[in-house]
Structures are given as C-alpha cells and as structure tokens.
Amino acid sequence: MSLALAAGAQNSSTSSSAVCAGCIRSNLEYLAGPALNGRGSGTIDEYHAAQYIAAKLKAYGLAPAADNASYIQSATIKTRTVTTAPVLTFDAGKPASWKHGNEFAAFQFSQPDIAAPLQKLNLNDAQISPKSVKAGAAVLLKLKPGTGVQDMQTVVGPYLESTAALIIVPEPADGEARFQRLAGRLPRDDKRTSDAAAGPDGIILKAEQAQQLWDVAEGTLIKLHADVTPWQVSHTWNVLAKIAGKKADQIILLSAHLDHLGVKDGKTYPGADDDASGTVAVMELARALAKQPKPQRTIVFALWGSEEAGLVGARYFLKNPTFELKNLVANLEFEMIARPDAKVQANQLWLTGWERTDLGPALAAHGAQLVGDPHPDQNFFMRSDNYALAKDGIIAQTVSSYGLHKDYHQPTDTLDKVDWQHLDSAVGSMIAPVSWLANSGFTPKWNEDGKP
C-alpha cells in the first residue's frame, strides 16, 4: 500500500489493509484525553487504558493472548520511596562520609542498606568487562578518557545488569549538568514487580571523590544507607492479543507501552506522543492485519504497562510469558510517532539499533519507510521496552520518529501537537511490511557484535 493511500484513507472500507484515520484519532483522543489523567504507571487510569485497549482489540476480532483466555495480564508491583538523602561511608584509616546531593548523586537506588567490599575496574584495560565483576561488590569504574554523558548508558549499562551490589561511576568531564539534576532531588521510587530481585544501586561521584576512592585499597568495606518507606503494593497491566497464524511456533510481536507519567505536583502529563501514539499504532495495525487472510506466522500485539517506571510490564512478561519466548521471530516496539523528525525525510520513520540486526534493511526492502536512528548519541535502543526483550536475545527494536522535541515528559505533550497526517502515514506505511514479515520465511539475525 502506498503512503498516499495510507495517509488519505478515512475508514476501513477503502481497502482491507487501509489505515483507518478515524480509528487512530478516536483512540488517541481517549488515551491522551482528560478521562485518563495521563495514564500514570500502576494507577487506576493505567488500568482503564488497558481495559479500553483490550475491548478494542476484541472488537477488531483478535483472540486473547494472556492467561486464562484473557486479554489482560496483571502484575503485582511493590514500591517504596527514599525519604532521606543516601549517605556513603567507608574507613580507609580515616572515616569518610559522603552525601547524595554533595559528593555524589544516586541514579539507581533499590537497596537501602549496602555493605560491600570495594572492587576497582579500569575500563582502559581491554580485558575488563561486566564479567569481571565480583558478586556483591561495590564496583568503582575508571572511565576511558573522553567518555562523555552520551556514552554512559552504553558503557555503564551492562555493569548495572551485573551481580554487583553497587556501581560507582566518576562524573564525566561534561557531566556537571546531569549531576546537578540528579543531585537536586532524592532518588526516584524503587518500583518493581513482586518477584523481581533488586539490581545494583548506581551512583555518580564527583571527580575529586572518585580519585580519592580509587586510591583506597580493594576490599575496603563500602556502606550506602538511606531511609525508605515500607513497601506499598499496587498493580500494572499488560494487554495481550493475537492473530493466530498457521505456524503457532513462529511469532511476530508488535508492541508499545500504554502508560505515561500521570499527574505530578498537580499537573497532568497527557503523553500524546509518549506513548499514546505508539499504542494507537499497534491497535491500528491489529485492526488492519485482522482483515487480511490468516497469516503464516502468529502475530501477537502487546501493550505494556509501567514502562515509565522501568520497563516493569515488559520485564514481568519475560518472567511470566504466555507463550514460548523461543518462538519469537522478532519484536517491533512503536514509540513516539505522532510527529515527524526533521533529521529524516518527510513521513520517514527510523529504527533503533539499525546496525545491530538485518531486520531494518529487510523491512525497508519490502516497502517500510524506515531508516537508521539519526540520534545515536541518545541510545534510544536501550530506552524502551524492546531492550528488556533484546537482553534476552530476542531481535527487538523500536520504530519511532521522535525529533527530540521539548515536550518530552512535559505537561505540554498534548493532542494539539499531533501531526495527524504524519501519524496516519506512519502507521499505514508499516502495514504491508509487517504483513510480509508475518507471511515470509525470513528470520532476522543479530549482526556481529550487535547483540546487547
């Protein structure tokens, strides 16, 4: 189907594969409208969004794909809040006591009390990797010269997936602004599913303190403490539906996250672009593909809950899948496609991790208006639900057209900013390529060094 057809179609009667602009608009206006108060992670508004989406997918003719013939998978979440600034202490002949907001800034906090032996890892040594981490250690990293803020997620991220108790990172030379942002508030709430273990805490040290700690002997006991509230229990919800294919053991997963930031300090964050736009894209792809003949491969449609709280819904699904994960051929996550990106051509979309797999070029060869991510410094491949799946070895990448607009995570991410022509075209342009993927024998592969 051509872009012109995708952009211009107003209802499903034009063609069995045509985009329904009216469906997209009504769905987005509800999800990002006043009734749902910004769909805050783990709130009743997120639940109402999940109910609405599930009802629509059922009406489109999709079968349930959650447990017990249901369209909604529920997960219990536990949350606690840091109430005092964390304090790091150690004794290397002279006691030292450093406080969050002064000498360091905590950016990942899930354990209110840590007592761990110091381990020093110099990343200038090519032999050092996350596998070098000792379980339960307080790991101080020495960064390579020139490592900047934009490199941190790529460089430090794998260590935050390790068995360490604490990851300590020196402030990059260009990292003062980020340090001040983190230091100016208490660490965000520790929010996770009830079956999830705590990961390593993470802190950024000012350069002077980082050098001081580097001079301390390995094995020195490092302590980190903060006061926290008791655990509070809530829930999050994933919506799961499917178009059963002739091959149940080959699954294409199309996904987006249905939550946003909700209401904070009396202000509503509607999240029209982030990620109501991706949600309605998945819903519209489901509606259009359900009108086509039975595909060869099964197509599962997933709308994840509590992505904004740390990919909680997607991580829960990976631990509690409703189908064999080994059957997943590929995952396409749709994230922020309500506006065009000036860095690419009009109506083009881009794919995170383009160079990591052969999926993007294959989709482009079959009509997808997809190009590589023009913002590699933003590490978008690691910043959406796809990353939770990619870490499990699944080919999982995000489709977007986010042009770094200033409304990101602001109350101004509203419906009046949506470019409806672009959104209709973006969704419509993916119908035929996804249909090809669901009916072909093509199985994407990781490129060399592409797997995270």
Tell me the average pLDDT across 159-168. Answer: 95
What is the share, in percent, of the chain residues with pLDDT greater than 70? 96
Q: Who has greater pLDDT, 16 or 387? A: 387
**Domains of the chain in sequence order:** 3-77+235-439 (3.40.630.10), 87-225 (3.50.30)
Q: What confidence score (pLDDT) does residue 452 get?
A: 85
The token duo for 286 is 């489901």
387-413: average pLDDT: 95
Q: What is the mean pLDDT of residues 237-243?
A: 98
Q: What is the pLDDT of residues 48-93, one digit of tens each?
A: 999 999 999 999 999 999 999 999 999 998 989 999 999 999 999 9
Confidence at residue 151, expressed as pLDDT on a 0 to 100 scale: 84
How far is residue 399's CA from residue 216's CA, in Å, rounded to a whole number?
A: 46
Between 194 and 16, residue with greater pLDDT: 194
Name the average pLDDT for the chain: 93
421-441, pLDDT tens digit by residue? 999 999 999 999 999 999 999
Confidence of residue 8 (pLDDT cuts 50, 70, 90): very low
Residue 2 — pLDDT band, cuts 50, 70, 90? Answer: very low
Chain centroid, CA 419 distance in Å: 23
Phi then psi for residue 317, to 5 deg, are: -60, -40
Q: What percent of the chain has pLDDT over 90?
A: 84
Q: What is the predicted pLDDT for the residue at 154?
A: 83
pLDDT at 259 over 60: yes
**Are the C-beta atoms of 47 and 39 separated by less than 8 Å?**
no
pLDDT in tens, 264-322: 999 999 999 999 999 999 999 999 999 999 999 999 999 999 999 888 999 899 999 99
